[in-house]
Homo-oligomer: A and B are copies of this chain.
Amino acid sequence: MAAWEENVRKVVPYTPGEQPNCPGIVKLNTNENPYPPAPGVLRALHEVDGDALRRYPDPTVGKLVKALADYHGLSSAQVFAGVGSDDVLAMSFLTFFNGTKPILFPDITYSFYDVWAGLYGIPYECQPLDAGFYIRTEDYLKDCGGIVIPNPNAPTGMEKDLAGLEEMIAGNPGVIVIIDEAYIDFGGQSVLPLLPKYENLLIVRTFSKSRSLAGMRIGYALGNETLIRYLNDVKYSFNSYTLSAAAIAAGVAAIRDDAYFKETLQKVINTRERMGQELCRLGFSCLDSKSNFIFATHPRYPAKELFESLKQDGIYVRYFQKPRIDQYLRISVGTDAEVDRLIQALEKLVL
């Protein structure tokens, strides 16, 4: 090891799902939306001109923040925007989890939470899901440095009850409770109505799933004005201009077309229900999903083998070699045609 390596921060990074770029594959491994964004998004992108490119973008991301505030019935001062919800969550960890007590999140959850904690040296304690993969409210009613709950949870796709979430938020007034609503639009119940009641609540959302904009990197947070100001202070201490002129334009256009948004959501939800039924028919057990993916296990076939066989067949799903979930596959909801191909491939493997 060279002398200069001594001072280097050494971390175990998050491993994103594979992003293969071969024609003809069925990509159901990173929970992308199978449908393109609203037509207005491409138009907005095409209207970005040389002047918008040569100049710095608006550091306050004003137009997008305003569009989101209006959409959610909040003020602009209650909205924070970032480069995908990962950027927003990372900045939130850095901003709000600055104490010495451990923060709490589920043992089976988005695998970036412990990575951010590691990066910033935040102590944490994972709370085990129960035998049915459910988040137990009582595990989060104790002295801690903060709480992060994904709702619906990933990779299970399961929703946590609103009453339980409110109990956690009300029971921990001294710390920030982050509800990561990356998948909330696919049928879950948001904590948004609780926002006026609890000033320690931060809601994080993304344009990557329900708004078909994973490629543009847009995420946001909703909270009270003080909390959002702290978050912006950290953002302005990191990078004044995080969202590009193109991202701002695309984001605003996506918010504006609510009819397209709802239509796309309904298509994904319908396909999810059909995909669940088909998986059941093939003998899989599926957790109750309120997201755009299904977490499924087969009683007779090892998940890892199915994962690899599907990949051979050009179908990418997600497999996690982790305790308790290593017999499960996380399968994103694709188009109907993609789901047909998946089911046909699985029929050959398990029937």
* Chain A residues close to B by CB (< 8 Å): 2-16, 19, 21, 27, 30, 32-37, 41-42, 45-46, 48-59, 83-84, 86-87, 90, 94-99, 115-116, 118-119, 145-146, 173-176, 199-200, 208, 212-217, 226, 230, 232-247, 250
Contact = CB atoms under 8 A, between A and B. Distances in A.
Contact of A246 (B19, B49, B54, B244): B244
A119 B237 contact: yes
Contacts of A7: 96-99, 145-146, 174-176
- Taken together, the copies of this chain in the complex come to 2
A42 B37 contact: no
A173 B56 contact: no
B98 A9 contact: yes
7 contacts: A10-B233, A12-B237, A21-B58, A36-B54, A41-B50, A55-B215, A118-B237
Contacts of A83: 83, 239, 242
Contacts of A16: 56, 59, 236, 240-241
A50 B54 contact: no
B54 A32 contact: yes
A146 to B, nearest CB: 7
Given A48-B45, A237-B119, A54 B5 contact: no
